[in-house]
């Protein structure tokens, strides 16, 4: 009888261990950091909208999506190309240094070309979650490269990592992974994406946006948006209790003058304006924000890994419960 009890206890322990391993999300830190080095490298020249460095980043992300075996969202492949024509005076403001970028001074007239990189994993419903992160940054200014490691190579790397995870762990909803262009200049890529979405917008149940998730010295990651969409807070609050980072809420109260409201701070605002719920993951501004010092060397690598793991768990919880 005692031997039978011990055997049952061992079996229970094994089952519990297997369940924990299934629930655990394991992400390779070395892979995350290698991707971040590549996307924020000097050779990308700050990834400014319409420049060769930006196009190079698009192609790198598209190749990763292809390697993961995502399905292109549109018939034309992973890169959704679009153009935008600026007024002459505005172009002079945003392209004062393009002569230093190979070929950038040959852009005809005021028409500039950008590209969103989009892939999809199909789920078991006809409803879709859009997971987004912008890939552009500020380019080269006064001879200095604005690499944008945290803003927002970090979000793009998380996007790639998450796509890998859900390719191996199929979701309930369709998951569209989109690296958006032109966020730094009025969210041009996000606008184009929504204006050309091939299905009714009520197909989209929510947007999960990532913008700056690798640089915080206090181990704090914010999930912004629960003020507007409180139905998500109980799900995320449960996650925050055992998260490796301090998952905090806030920065989304428009009538509170004591806080910095992030409701319109990044591409998620476009979804919010169309009454599509959002959760935005990001960190508070730091000394390297929009500076040439936002480089790979200045991110918090341990925090970055924990942030990506936490956001991936959040996406899994939201996918299974909304």
CA 95: distance to chain centroid?
26
Structural domain tally of the chain?
A: 1
Cis peptide before 53 (omega within 30 of 0): no
Confidence (pLDDT) at 1 = 54
Q: Is residue 297 part of a domain?
A: yes
Q: Is residue 12 part of a domain?
A: no
What 3-state class would DSSP assign to 169? coil
Instruction: Assign residue 111 a region (left: φ > 0; alpha: ψ between -120 and 50; beta: otherwise).
Output: beta
> From first to last of its 322 residues, what are the pLDDT tens digits of the chain?
555 545 444 454 444 444 444 567 888 999 999 999 999 999 999 999 999 999 999 999 999 999 999 999 988 899 999 999 876 545 544 555 444 444 445 444 578 899 999 999 999 999 999 999 999 999 999 999 999 999 999 999 999 999 999 999 999 999 999 999 999 999 999 999 999 999 999 999 999 999 999 999 999 999 999 999 999 999 999 898 888 999 999 999 988 888 899 999 999 999 999 999 999 999 999 999 999 999 999 999 999 999 999 999 999 999 999 9
Q: Is residue 169 part of a domain?
A: yes
Confidence (pLDDT) at 90 = 53
- Cβ burial of 167 (10 Å; 0-12, 13-18, 19+) is middle
Confidence (pLDDT) at 26 = 80
Q: Is residue 2 part of a domain?
A: no
What 3-state class would DSSP assign to 117? strand
Q: Is residue 11 part of a domain?
A: no
- Residue range of the domain that includes 263: 30-321
| Residue 86 CB contacts under 8 Å (≥ 6 apart), including other chains | 94, 110, 112
Q: Is residue 22 part of a domain?
A: no
Confidence (pLDDT) at 109 = 56
Q: What is the CATH number of the domain that holds 55?
A: 3.40.630.10
Q: Is residue 3 part of a domain?
A: no
Distances in whole angstroms, Cα of residue 82 to Cα of each of 110, 176, 190, 211 = 14, 19, 11, 22
The torsion defined by the Cα of 258, 134, 311 and 167, in degrees rounded to 10, comes to: 160
Q: Is residue 24 part of a domain?
A: no
């Amino acid at each position: 009888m005692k031997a039978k009890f011990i055997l049952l206890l061992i079996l229970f322990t094994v089952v519990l261990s297997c369940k924990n391993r299934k629930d655990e999300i394991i992400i390779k830190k070395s892979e995350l950091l290698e991707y971040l080095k590549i996307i924020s490298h000097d050779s990308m020249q700050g990834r400014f909208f319409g420049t060769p460095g930006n196009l190079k980043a698009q192609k790198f992300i598209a190749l990763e999506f292809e390697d993961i075996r995502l399905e292109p969202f549109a018939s034309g492949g992973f890169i959704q190309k679009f153009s935008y024509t600026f007024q002459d005076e505005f172009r002079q403001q945003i392209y004062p240094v393009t002569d230093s970028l190979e070929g950038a001074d040959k852009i005809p007239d005021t028409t500039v070309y950008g590209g969103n990189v989009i892939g999809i994993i199909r789920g078991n419903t006809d409803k879709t979650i859009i997971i987004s992160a912008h890939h552009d940054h500020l380019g080269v200014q006064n001879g200095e490269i604005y690499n944008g490691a945290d803003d927002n190579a970090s979000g793009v790397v998380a996007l790639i990592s998450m796509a890998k995870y859900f390719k191996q762990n199929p979701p309930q909803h369709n998951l569209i992974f989109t690296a958006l262009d032109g966020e730094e200049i009025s969210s041009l890529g996000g606008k184009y994406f929504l204006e050309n979405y091939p299905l009714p917008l009520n197909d989209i149940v929510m947007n999960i946006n990532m913008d700056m998730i690798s640089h915080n010295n206090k181990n704090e990651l914010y999930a912004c948006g629960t003020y507007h969409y409180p139905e998500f807070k109980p799900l995320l609050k449960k996650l925050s209790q055992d998260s490796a980072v301090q998952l905090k809420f806030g920065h989304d109260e428009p009538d509170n003058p004591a806080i910095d409201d992030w409701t319109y701070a990044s591409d998620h605002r476009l979804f919010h304006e169309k009454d599509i719920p959002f959760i935005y993951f990001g960190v508070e501004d730091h000394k390297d924000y929009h500076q040439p010092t936002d480089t790979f060397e200045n991110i918090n690598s341990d925090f970055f890994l924990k942030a990506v793991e936490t956001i991936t768990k959040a996406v899994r919880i939201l996918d299974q419960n909304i």
